[in-house]
Amino acid sequence: MSAATTTTTNRPAASRGPLTDLLMGGGPARRAAWIVVGLMLLVSVVRTVSGEQALTSSSTFATALLLAVPIGLAALGGLFSERAGVVNIGLEGMMILGTWGAGWAGYQWGWAGAIVGGVLFGAAGGLLHAVATVTFGVDHVVSGVAINILAGGIVRFLSELVYVDNKAGGGVTQSPALSSRPPSFSLPVLSDGPDLLGDLADRQWFLVSDVAGLLRGVTSGVGVLTLVAILLVPISYLVLWRTAFGLRLRACGENPAAADSLGVPVYRMKYIAVLISGGLAGLGGVALVFVANIFKEGQTGGRGFIGLAALIFGNWRPGGLAAGAGLFGFADGLQLRSRTAVVALLLLLAVLLLVVAVLQTVRGKYLQAVLAAGFAALSLVGFLTIGELPEGIVSFTPHLITLLVLSLASQRLRMPKADGLVYRRGEH
């Protein structure tokens, strides 16, 4: 008796092309693409309804990109540190050190010297944090807060030593201007030649003009450090998730005892991660110095803490923290461009909260759904009744948005398991 066998031929799936794969395929890339499309549609609707053209103007997007860079760099610094298991509350202090190093080196050796000086001073703050937490086992939060306090004092002390005869004005609270400005670039085709994007943006067409304003804002006159910061986002992902070094570093933040048993030099990896963290935070300080062309006391304005918030909002992932930094940069840039346009954010907020309410209802979380719907109604009422917000509230808008986003994004966060824990070989 012979058994009949049937064979099936597996035909290869037809190639769909990169755009089709992006939109129809699975994974984070498709979700990110649809989120971007949805946000642009939503912002375009809000711009059309409110009549606030500053919402999607190229100048607003250009300013948003500029202001998002220092926050994103600080968040990337926190990413490396916390993925290795070291909580870095001291990002603000390391940014402060970076601003002073950039200002001091920049007026002597130009913009390239400012970058080197800022990174080195920020890395020095990271080294201090690593010595305290990794070697001596100091609580990570205590060490970070101490660095934030020390950084301000150290910077003032150094300024009184170096800038006591500052002839440029400002006394010891600021440095002389940088001896050279960093170069800037424009993307070929989109930004060179006839201003086609500017013409489209001025026509106020639904979605088309908004996309044109976005493209023009992020491709014209982009500084060299902005390009570096943008490239560091995918580079950080590749380093941390696609290299052996990144695997070892993340293992130290998930289970340092297991990593140690497999031959990973846990202490050394933590030191390297915190040094990189301090250097990136210092580079964020350099970005602030490039904007003002000088170092000025109090220049960071809490952006290190906002960077930490962006890191948490991004769920300790490069793409997520970049989105968080972009959100804060957009809100900050908008309030600088137009006080009345900030009111239009209330309509945008109302729609987003309504979406949250619907999602929470589908998930069966009725209390959260009711709260989100209630805040959405309040935001809508505010948009309809408020003509112009007071100046104090307008300047605080980015911080309010950061707090709101963190509260909405805190449902599915997953920090590294050993983040913040003091590791001692043989004790675990």
For 261, residues 6+ apart whose C-beta sits below 8 A from its C-beta are none
What pLDDT was estimated at residue 21? 43
Structure tokens at 402: 């950061």
Q: Judge whether 325 and 303 are in contact, CB under 8 Å.
A: no
**CA pair distance 164, 168, nearest whole angstrom:** 11
Q: Ramachandran region of residue 386, left (φ > 0), alpha (ψ -120 to 50) or beta?
A: beta
What pLDDT was estimated at residue 109? 94
Most distant CA atoms of the chain, gap in Å: 104
Q: Judge whether 142 and 420 are in contact, CB under 8 Å.
A: no
Q: Judge whether 412 and 346 are in contact, CB under 8 Å.
A: no
Q: How many CB atoms lie within 10 A of CB 87?
A: 21
Please report which helix (H) or strand (E) contains residue 370, including its range.
Answer: helix 366-385
pLDDT by 10-residue block (mean), the chain, 428 residues: 43 44 52 79 86 84 91 96 95 96 93 96 96 94 95 92 71 84 75 64 81 84 91 95 95 93 94 97 96 91 90 89 88 79 82 83 84 86 80 72 63 82 77
Structure tokens at 418: 């050993």
Report H helices in 180-296. 196-202, 208-219, 224-242, 244-254, 256-261, 266-292
